[in-house]
Amino acid sequence: MQEVLLLKCGELVLKGLNRSRFESRLLHIVRARLQPLGQYKVSISQSTVYVQPCDGAPVDEALAVCMRVFGIVSVCRAAVCPKNMDDICRTACEYLAQELHDVRTFKVEARRADKRFPLTSPQIGAEVGASLLSRYPHLRAKMEGADRVVKVEIREEHAYISGRRMAGAGGMPTGTNGRAMLLLSGGIDSPVAGHMMARRGLELGAVHFFSYPYTSEEARDKVLELARILSGYAGKITVSVVPFTHIQQEIRDKCDEDYFTLIMRRFMMRLAERVAVHQGCSALITGESLGQVASQTIESLNATGSVCTLPVFRPLIGMDKEEIVVRARQIGTFETSILPYEDCCTVFTPRHPQTKPKLENVQAQESALDVDALVEEAFAGVERVTLG
């Protein structure tokens, strides 16, 4: 029995004259993600992407990959059969045997995309439903809240029979809305922020600030693992690892302790923007949440963001920690984020950080530093690692 994957497109179906651009990008992504697994024929018709395994290419692995492709709202396995009711009913009974064995109620939903087919959608559903009831007497038809929905789709060339559908990643295909640079720490928040903005069609780069020997190689590897997990959704991600030790030492030696975190964050934003422009990004992404820590008050955000000219996306700004943790678990980054390796934000942490800083006071503190020279030195030492 021939089997395919049916990937249902999300909001890109609402696009107008440029819809083909979004669909072409989505097909390119699906093909690229599946290429390491084997040969697949990938096509799109009527808001559905068809993935047909060739030469024994695996189906289960392909299903797992496709569930993480942004732009897809649902994924299912389906059997392909000829467009006549005898074959359709027989295929439904055989293909869904295991799924229907484990449930008690079902519903058949039929869609006749090929209007030349002699039966209407309700007639198709009725015939398939009768066949299933005859084959599986333990079943009961239920129009609302059924345990399993059996779908029958009559397309131009074939009929497709499917059962359980799994949620896709949703959103927009990666890269359809540009490219942005994620400030990626080793914490819980920033990977979630990156995932949320990639889901809106952004291609991601990432920048990480590394303060050896105050932070360890294990901490660096932890961040690279987070980027690797994100790449399962967003495609290849290049992480720019910025040496940050000298900057932090200069801040420690020449600035008041209360301003350490603020000035450090301003350097991070400057360097992230420098890396972003160098890599063709049009925005920055941070994992900041309003009021979560001292550097994330309105006043502090204004002070740190004022050094940038690129827009700064803060998708977590209105979320509490528990909401962020739930998302981190869903996307698979949480367990890595809580590994006990500290990042540079914990180095030289002030005992009493400024929470309502005045910009002129922050700038006065910074005047003791050669800001341009420190930025140039750090940028010259950037190491780039590509994941995915």
Residue 85 domain-assigned? yes
The 10 Å Cβ neighbour count of residue 326 is 12
Residue 51: the pLDDT is 97
57 and 186 fall within a common domain:
no
Task: Report the chain's C-alpha Rg in angstroms.
Answer: 26
Residue 324 lies in a domain: yes
Q: Are residues 185 and 159 in the same domain?
A: no
Is 214:344 a contact under the CB 8 Å cutoff? yes
Neighbours of 340 (CB within 10 A): 7
Task: State the Cα–Cα distance between residues 213 and 34, nearest whole angstrom.
Answer: 40
Give the DSSP letter of residue 138.
T
What are phi and psi for residue 183, nearest 5 degrees? -80, 105
Residues 155 and 114 in one domain: yes
Whole-structure pTM value: 0.90
Q: Are residues 124 and 185 in the same domain?
A: no
Q: How far is CA 200 from CA 172, 203, 253, in A?
A: 5, 9, 42
**According to the model, what pLDDT value does residue 13 have?**
83
Containing structural domain, residue 244: 179-387
- The predicted structure's pLDDT at residue 18: 85
Q: Could you tell me the CATH number of the domain that includes residue 148? A: 3.30.2130.30
Shared domain for 307 and 378, answered yes or no, is yes
Q: What is the CATH number of the domain that holds 309?
A: 3.40.50.620
End of a domain among 167, 196, 231? Answer: 167
CA distance 233 to 28: 14
Q: Are residues 160 and 187 in the same domain?
A: no
**280 burial via Cβ count (<10 Å: 0-12, 13-18, 19+):** exposed
In a domain, 230, yes or no: yes
Residue 112 included in any domain? yes
Q: Is residue 174 part of a domain?
A: no
The closest of 280, 287, 272, 283 to 382, measured between CA atoms, is: 272
Do the domain assignments include residue 173? no
The residue among 167, 196, 214 that closes a domain is 167
* 117, 132, 167 - which closes a domain: 167
Per-residue pLDDT, 213: 87
Q: Look at the chain and report how many structural domains it folds into.
A: 2
Residue type, 210: F
Within 13 Å, how many C-alpha atoms sit on residue 348's CB side? 26
pLDDT of residue 352: 80
Joined together, the tokens standing for residue 264 give 């450090």
Residues 287, 194 share a domain: yes
What's the confidence (pLDDT) of residue 317?
A: 97
Digitized pLDDT (tens) for each residue of the chain, 388 residues in all: 899 999 999 888 888 788 999 999 999 999 999 999 999 999 998 889 999 999 999 999 999 999 999 999 999 999 999 999 999 999 999 999 999 998 999 999 999 989 999 999 999 999 999 999 999 999 999 999 999 999 999 998 899 999 999 999 999 999 999 999 999 998 999 999 999 999 999 999 999 999 988 888 999 999 999 999 999 999 999 999 999 999 999 999 999 999 999 999 999 999 999 999 999 999 999 999 998 887 899 999 999 999 999 999 999 999 999 999 999 999 999 999 999 877 766 667 777 888 899 999 999 999 999 999 999 999 999 999 999 8
How far is it, in rounded angstroms, from Cα 21 to Cα 173?
Answer: 10
Q: What is the DSSP string of 75-125?
A: EEEEEEE-SSHHHHHHHHHHHTHHHHHT-SEEEEEEEESSTTSSS-HHHHH
pLDDT at 212: 87
Question: In this structure, are 8 and 124 located in the same domain?
Answer: yes
Q: Is 172 within the bounds of a domain?
A: no
- How far apart CA 163 and CA 150 sit, in angstroms, is 5
Q: Which amino acid is at 327?
A: R
pLDDT at 1: 84
- 278 domain residue, yes or no: yes
Same domain membership, residue 238 and residue 92: no
Q: Does 198 lie in the same domain as 83?
A: no
* Domain shared by 187 and 77, yes or no: no
Cα angle 183-218-213, degrees, rounded to a multiple of 5: 85
Indicate whether 264 and 141 sit together in one domain: no
pLDDT at site 22: 93
Please say whether the beta carbons of 7 and 168 come within 8 A. Answer: yes
